[in-house]
Chains A and B, each alone.
Chain A
Amino acid sequence: MKLVDERTYTLNGINVHTIPTNKFKTNTIVLKVKAPLSEEDVTVRAILPYVLQNATESHPQPSQFRAYLDELYGASLAVDLSKKGEDHIISIRLEIANEKFLKDSTPLLEKGIELLSEVLLKPVTEGNGFKSATVDKEKRALKQRIQSVYDDKMRYASQRLIEEMCAAEPYRLSANGEKEKVDAITSESLYSYYQNMLKTNDIHLYFVGDIKEEEVDEYVKKYFVLPDQDNKVTSSITQPNKEMKEPNEVIERQDIKQGKLNIGYRTNVTFKDDLYYALQVFNGIFGGFSHSKLFINVREKESLAYYAASRVESHKGLLLVMSGIDFSNYEKAVTIINQQIEAMKQGEYTEGEISQTKAVIKNQILETIDTARGLIEVLYNNEVSEADKPIEAFLEGVENVTKEEIQEVAQMIELDTTYFLTGKEA
């Protein structure tokens, strides 16, 4: 059975994806703009979507712009930045009600597409730049956004692990940019970055909902007219694997109540590899779920933690473990976690555990595609890694993973960095 009916084509330099489905009450449009993650551009790129979502030429005041979204039955517009491997991705999402569920039958889809195109293509300008009052306001907000990571100790510890682990790779950069670089941004420099982005970046536009493809085509043609594309940047160069030295241990102290233990491993397997499915099953047995080794051994058997889990950074090939523990349990927790990795390398898992894990992963994927946003993320993974893993093939790939393949992946996994955020005393 075909799970997702996706049609892809290129129009005006944009890769358009339509996925018609009648299971939602809204239509979702997501714009993805990709460029390599770089020290030079990370901060200016991080502020851009926030400036764009303030206003457009036809709704030049932020309150007018927001009031217009309200008028479109509370259409929701949101922007964010993320990293996928060594790529830096801007996402702009618009979700808008399907009028067939409203008493009022104003057609909303065209208005939504028009508005999203204006956000991308018709910003409010002043002189040779964006409106400087807007840029200033967003610079302040960006600094606060970057700084807020420090206040969320779980996020802080995850970010610190990556900084330490990938110190020599662009991946160390946070998708929100660097605080010290914010002040140097001007409305002119940002505008010139923006113009260049439209000409050179890889742009995808997704439509999910009860949509007619001809209609979508017509609106995209009408509203998404991009400047001429030149020097298109292709996908970023995948960094060669870092030469493994002795594993690194980093201990940092802060005035906190609970220690955060984050451990990073190199898996040497990424989304586009054949062994990727085996890596997913490996992660599921090791720490991805509540039946996994980490949960059972760190939490259930030893009561050391409330959470102890792992996840895979698919495009970068990292395996990341996170747990919250008492300061005094550091050695004990590290030992137990490394024992679980060792057990994985030794093949200490049963056919029962393997099939249980496959069932849960399959469930997770099917659940993800029950949301428009999740579905788009799943499909976009293929674009980012230039892989061809449609959802059906993905499910089959997971199903076919053998015990030997899991062990093969386990053998490739190398401990890189152990990071511990601990208390001031001791």
Chain B
Amino acid sequence: MEKIEFKQLEENLYHETLDNGLEVYLLPKSGFHKTYATFTTKYGSIDNKFVPLGEDNYVSVPDGIAHFLEHKLFEKEHGDVFQDFSKQGASANAFTSFTRTAYLFSSTSNVEKNLETLMDFVQAPYFTEKTVEKEKGIIGQEITMYEDNADWRAYFGLIESMFHTHPVKIDIAGTIDSISKITKDLLYTCYETFYHPSNMLLFVVGPMDTSEMMQFIKDNQAKKTFKEKEEIKRQFDEEPTSVNEKKKVLKMNVHTSKCMVGIKESNPTKQGPELLKHELTVNILLDLLFGKSSDHYQKLYDDGLIDETFAYDYTGENGFGFAMLGGDTAEPDKLAERVQKILLQFDPNSIEEQELERIKKKKIGSFLRALNSPEFIANQFTRYAFNNMDLFEVTPQLEKITLEDLKAVAKDFIKEEAFTTCQVVPK
């Protein structure tokens, strides 16, 4: 077991790669009651074209299948795994993103038992035609719920506007039509391919004896057999650098309009430290331009174009990346225009060293605040690891970012042809 010390943060991380390929990380947190564990596979909604384990040819699977599989893993021959967790005093959950499916629990007692339940249920699929059919009703209601959610529609509408072919544009849950095509055999195909331990990461954070915990995990894994690990072949269609459409307007039953502006990453191939530096730099740039302490934010607020829902965010993964800015607004066209103008007229030479230092301080403090949360640590650490980055490099990397870095990123990232907007307006 490898021990990685973060002296300034007073944290120690323990790591081991097991024989079956599973990456295990343990972060002891004394003083906390809760233990939080995530068991995550590098498989999300974008992985819809791949070569099934043991086969030679690519197959395409229905939209929403990764999310459907997430739901179905909880059901076993003996019943529902949620029940097992709650009998052991734990609360369990799961989520599917573009690139990951995570299963998790948190509990303040019976930690080893709950951890065993987590590893065992994820590693023992049980799908039948009958239960697959039943789930279509539940997920159908989940999809319908999101159709009425204006924020979700604006968010996904913007992504659809950005991408021509990349499956990131497909709603994570799929559609009622696409999920109707899901069968138990297809679920097994996806499961066998993507749930190999060598494609997964287990993260446990909480009060613990790390040696005992690691041994417990190793013993559990040693009892199980897995096929030989194979490299997973995923296929994505060629995605143009241009945006799919410049503007989309959705009419919904709302009182207030929403407006989101997107900026599409033109060359989203960065991984590892390069991606870490890039995303931190883009985030600093967005903060400088649109943070609450910026003149632009104050002006937009004073002019009545934004309110406290205004937010911005950058997403970067292997194969796609984008920034989005926006929120509720009385004047969606005007807000889109102003935001785009601010971006285009931005002169990187105008930034002063002290502004950069101020934003860096803010980011370092926010990162410390986030480290109070076991959920943040486990979920983000996993996302970082799947992109070959290290969560605990955030502060050192932030400290290293220079004005020159900001200028380079501004020049590369802010381009008019990469802009798109999506609005939700009252019917």
Name A residues whose Cβ lies closer than 8 Å to a Cβ of B: 3, 21-26, 61-63, 66-67, 69-76, 95-98, 101-103, 133, 137, 140-141, 144-145, 147-148, 150-153, 254-258, 289-291, 299-300, 303-307, 324-326, 352, 356-357, 359-360, 362-364, 366-367, 369-372
Which residues of chain B in 337-394 are interfacial with respect to chain A, using CB atoms and an 8 Å cutoff? Answer: 358-359, 361-366, 368-369, 371-374
Name B residues whose Cβ lies closer than 8 Å to a Cβ of A: 8-10, 29-34, 80, 82-83, 86-92, 106-109, 134-139, 141-142, 144-145, 147-151, 253-256, 291-295, 297-298, 301-302, 304, 307-309, 328, 330, 358-359, 361-366, 368-369, 371-374, 427
Residue of A nearest to B304 (CB): A140
Residues of B within 8 A of A369 (CB): 33
A57 CB → nearest B CB, Å: 18
Q: Are A364 and B366 in contact (CB under 8 A)?
A: no
Q: A3-B33, A291-B83, A306-B142 are in contact. List 4 more A-B contacts (CB 8 A).
A: A70-B359, A290-B92, A366-B34, A371-B372
Most chain-B CB neighbours within 10 Å: which of A140, A363, A367?
Answer: A363
The 10 A-B pairs with the shortest beta carbon distances in the complex, nearest first, are A303-B137, A73-B365, A23-B31, A74-B365, A359-B89, A74-B362, A66-B293, A306-B142, A366-B33, A67-B293
User: What is the CA–CA distance of A54 and B291 in the complex, to the nearest angstrom?
Assistant: 14
Q: Are A26 and B364 in contact (CB under 8 A)?
A: no
Q: Are B301 and A370 in contact (CB under 8 A)?
A: no
Q: Are A367 and B108 in contact (CB under 8 A)?
A: yes
Known interface pairs A76-B369, A306-B141, A371-B372. Does A101 touch B8 (Cβ–Cβ under 8 Å)? yes
29 A-B contacts (beta carbon < 8 Å): A26-B369, A63-B295, A63-B298, A66-B292, A70-B359, A71-B361, A73-B368, A74-B362, A74-B369, A75-B365, A76-B366, A101-B368, A137-B302, A140-B307, A150-B255, A151-B256, A152-B149, A152-B150, A257-B144, A258-B144, A258-B147, A290-B83, A290-B86, A290-B91, A291-B86, A304-B141, A324-B145, A360-B90, A367-B106
B212 CB → nearest A CB, Å: 21
User: What is the CA–CA distance of A258 and B359 in the complex, to the nearest angstrom?
Assistant: 43
Residues of B within 8 A of A137 (CB): 301-302, 304
A69 CB → nearest B CB, Å: 7
Chain A contact surface mostly: mixed
Q: Are B256 and A147 in contact (CB under 8 A)?
A: yes
Chain B contact surface mostly: mixed
User: What is the CA–CA distance of A371 and B375 in the complex, to the nearest angstrom?
Assistant: 11
Most chain-B CB neighbours within 10 Å: which of A25, A137, A289, A362?
Answer: A25
Q: Are A258 and B427 in contact (CB under 8 A)?
A: no
Q: Are A364 and B91 in contact (CB under 8 A)?
A: yes
Of B92, B108, B134, the contact of A362 (CB 8 Å cutoff): B108
Q: Are B298 and A62 in contact (CB under 8 A)?
A: yes
Q: Are A150 and B369 in contact (CB under 8 A)?
A: no
Residues of A within 8 A of B256 (CB): 144, 147-148, 151
A275 CB → nearest B CB, Å: 23
User: What is the CA–CA distance of A363 and B166 in the complex, to the nearest angstrom?
Assistant: 42
Residues of B within 8 A of A325 (CB): 141
Of A3, A72, A141, the contact of B365 (CB 8 Å cutoff): A72
B179 CB → nearest A CB, Å: 13
Most chain-B CB neighbours within 10 Å: which of A133, A141, A151, A325?
Answer: A151
User: What is the CA–CA distance of A166 and B381 in the complex, to the nearest angstrom?
Assistant: 46
Known interface pairs A67-B358, A306-B145, A360-B89. Does A148 touch B309 (Cβ–Cβ under 8 Å)? yes
Q: Are A151 and B33 in contact (CB under 8 A)?
A: no
Residues of A within 8 A of B138 (CB): 299-300, 303, 305-306
Q: Are A258 and B88 in contact (CB under 8 A)?
A: no
Residue of B nearest to A209 (CB): B372
A32 CB → nearest B CB, Å: 21
Residue of B nearest to A96 (CB): B365
User: What is the CA–CA distance of A256 and B254 in the complex, to the nearest angstrom?
Assistant: 10
Residues of B within 8 A of A363 (CB): 89-91, 106-109
Residues of A within 8 A of B87 (CB): 291, 352, 356, 359
Q: Are A70 and B150 in contact (CB under 8 A)?
A: no
Known interface pairs A23-B32, A24-B372, A306-B138. Does A63 touch B293 (Cβ–Cβ under 8 Å)? yes
Residue of B nearest to A25 (CB): B368
Residues of A within 8 A of B371 (CB): 25
A132 CB → nearest B CB, Å: 13
Of A63, A72, A140, the contact of B294 (CB 8 Å cutoff): A63
A281 CB → nearest B CB, Å: 13
User: What is the CA–CA distance of A356 and B84 in the complex, to the nearest angstrom?
Assistant: 10
User: What is the CA–CA distance of A290 and B87 in the complex, to the nearest angstrom?
Assistant: 11
